């Protein structure tokens, strides 16, 4: 399986939304609601897609996953220096591509992108009540940072320390 990652363009808004909606529905069916459909509708994500914040992982040219990569996150990380970090959100994989390869490719890509931008950390958050997801991030090398209440969400925050590039 060949995995490529590319920046989503405005024509990809529905694709990004569909991947997010599929993941949200799958979680909701398991009693683990994550995003409200309205949060990830094409109308609500189109501005971020147009700004170039979303990326799509493709397996053999078919959409397999998505991730939002940003250089500032004052909502979930207001208490840290924004300059030294990159942040990922809205990380989702289509069910038929679950199993780790696509998610690992997207996280590796995000770390490499943050490194190219001379960031010291890649940071993310997830629902604090999801131990299996937290274990995935920890197994990948993310280190637990702290918990935080953000509106209705109680999240665990994680960071991946990026080693400086050796030249």
- What is the domain-level CATH number for residue 10? 3.40.630.30
* pLDDT at position 27: 87
Residue 36 is assigned to a structural domain of this protein: yes
Question: Residue 13 and residue 3: Cα distance in Å, rounded?
Answer: 20
* pLDDT at position 5: 98
Rounded to two decimals, what is the model's pTM?
0.93
- Number of compact structural domains in the chain: 1
Residue 25 is assigned to a structural domain of this protein: yes
> Could you give the angle at which helices 42-50 and 13-29 cross, rounded to 10 degrees?
130
pLDDT, tens digit, for every residue of 39-73? 899 999 999 999 999 999 999 999 999 999 999 99
State the Rg of the chain over Cα: 15
Q: Provide the residue-wise pLDDT of the chain in tens; the chain has 167 residues.
A: 789 999 999 999 999 999 999 999 998 898 887 888 888 999 999 999 999 999 999 999 999 999 999 999 999 999 999 999 999 999 999 999 988 899 999 999 999 999 999 999 999 999 999 998 899 899 999 999 999 999 888 999 999 999 876 66
Residue 166 is assigned to a structural domain of this protein: no
Residue 133 is assigned to a structural domain of this protein: no
* pLDDT at position 66: 98
* pLDDT at position 104: 94
Residue 146 is assigned to a structural domain of this protein: no
Residue 151 is assigned to a structural domain of this protein: no
Question: Residue 154 and residue 126: Cα distance in Å, rounded?
Answer: 8
Residue 138 is assigned to a structural domain of this protein: no
Q: What phi and psi values does residue 88 have, to the nearest 5 degrees? A: -120, 145
Mean of pLDDT over the chain? 93
> Could you give the angle at which helices 131-140 and 101-116 cross, rounded to 10 degrees?
50
Domain that holds residue 104: 3-124
* pLDDT at position 38: 84
Residue 12 is assigned to a structural domain of this protein: yes
Q: DSSP H helical segments within the chain, as ranges?
A: 13-29, 42-50, 101-116, 131-140
Question: Residue 70 and residue 89: Cα distance in Å, rounded?
Answer: 8
């Amino acid at each position: 399986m060949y995995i490529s990652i590319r920046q989503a363009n405005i024509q990809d808004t529905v694709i990004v939304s569909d991947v997010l909606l599929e993941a949200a529905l799958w979680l909701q069916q398991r009693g683990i609601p994550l995003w409200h459909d309205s949060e990830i509708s094409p109308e609500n994500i189109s501005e971020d897609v147009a700004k170039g914040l979303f990326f799509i992982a493709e397996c053999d040219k078919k959409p397999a996953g998505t991730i939002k990569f940003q250089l500032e996150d004052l909502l979930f990380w207001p208490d840290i220096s924004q300059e030294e970090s990159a942040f990922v959100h809205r990380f989702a994989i289509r069910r038929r591509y679950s199993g780790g390869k696509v998610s690992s490719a997207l996280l590796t890509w995000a770390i490499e992108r943050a490194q190219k931008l001379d960031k010291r950390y890649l940071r993310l958050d997830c629902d604090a009540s999801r131990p299996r997801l937290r274990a995935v991030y920890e197994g990948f090398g993310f280190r637990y940072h702290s918990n935080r209440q953000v509106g209705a969400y109680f999240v665990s925050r994680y960071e991946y320390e990026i080693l400086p590039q050796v030249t």
